[in-house]
Structure 1
Amino acid sequence: MAVIKSKTQPKKLWGRFEIDASIPAADNIFDIPLFEKYLHDRIKINGIAGKLGTDVIITRNKNTLKITSKVDMSKRYMKYLTKKFLKKNQLRDWIRVVADNKGSYQLKYYNINQEVTA
């Protein structure tokens, strides 16, 4: 006996990711629109970069980017692209990418002012 699926079921979304850059953007170090364009140009779908179509939707809300994907995409891939952007803009020495919960990353400064006690 075959199981018949309803045609009204919504398609499964493979990935919902959030990248919060509010800390460096508040200091005018990190450019959110430039980062959004970078992701539009660099995210690969079926081996082709820049042709997102309706498969990947990137929305910006002040200092946060939300990426919604209908194709299989890993959270690690978003971290990889974020780190490449930081390296390209020479921010990698000051900003790090930290996972704050299951579906999101946050950009934070490295803690440089650590006192070392002997």
Structure 2
Amino acid sequence: MAVTKTGSATKKSETRKFVIDCSGPASDKIFDVAAYEKYLHDHIKVNGRTNNLEDQVKIVRANDKITVTASIHFSKRYLKYLTKRFLKKHQLRDWLRVIASDKQTYLLKYYNINQGEDEEEDDEE
């Protein structure tokens, strides 16, 4: 933080960049990346209002990855929340989960359903 002449502290505006990798489900054609991009554009709130992105938040789609760049305070957790809402709306929440692969990236992966079936077979014996 920088201190001004009056002694009050001001924050530097940071540019935060987050990536959501949808390549697994998108390659299987069960996840529509274009619809997800539009959903984010319509539902991200800036200053308490939707459809108010202006130049503060930019959403860019490159193949099966969506990049969200924000020049204001923006939480990665908020992107996870919106992603889970999108999955629930399209009845994909039972099949896909949102995982943080690193500090700025989320990854959509399938639940490992086969693992649960193996455990059930062992219990029956």
Indicate whether the TM-score tops 0.5.
yes
Q: Secondary structure at the match of 2:20?
A: strand
What is the match of residue 84 of structure 2?
A: 83
Q: Which runs of 4+ in 1 moved over 2 A?
A: none
Give the Cα separation in 1 of the matches to 2:88 and 2:51.
20
Q: Select 1:12's aligned residue among 11, 14, 39.
A: 14
User: Which SS does the other structure have where 2:54 is aligned?
Assistant: coil
Question: For residues 32-47 of structure 1, what are the structure 2 equivalents within 5 Å?
Answer: 32-47=33-48
* CA deviation map 1:2-44 (0-9, x unaligned): 779xxxxx9521x210000000000100000000000000000
Structure 2: where are the runs of 5+ without partners? 6-11
Aligned equivalents of 1:110 and 1:80: distance in 2?
18
Aligned to 1:31: 32
d(CA) in 2 for partners of 1:3, 1:92: 48
Return 5+ residue gaps in structure 1 as ranges: 5-9
TM-score (structure 1 length as normaliser): 0.89
* CA contact 2:13–2:72 (8 Å) conserved in 1: no
| Deviation by residue 1:60-81 (Cα, 9 ceiling, x = unmatched) | 1100000000110110000000
AA in 2 matched with 1:86:
L
SS at match of 1:28: coil
TM-score when normalising by structure 2 = 0.84
Richer in helix (by share) = 2
Alignment partner, residue 9 of structure 2: none
1:62 corresponds to? 63
Q: How many Å apart are 1:51 and its aligned residue?
A: 1.3
Give 1 or 2 for the bigger CA radius of gyration: 2
Q: How many residues align?
A: 111
State the superposition RMSD in angstroms. Answer: 1.6
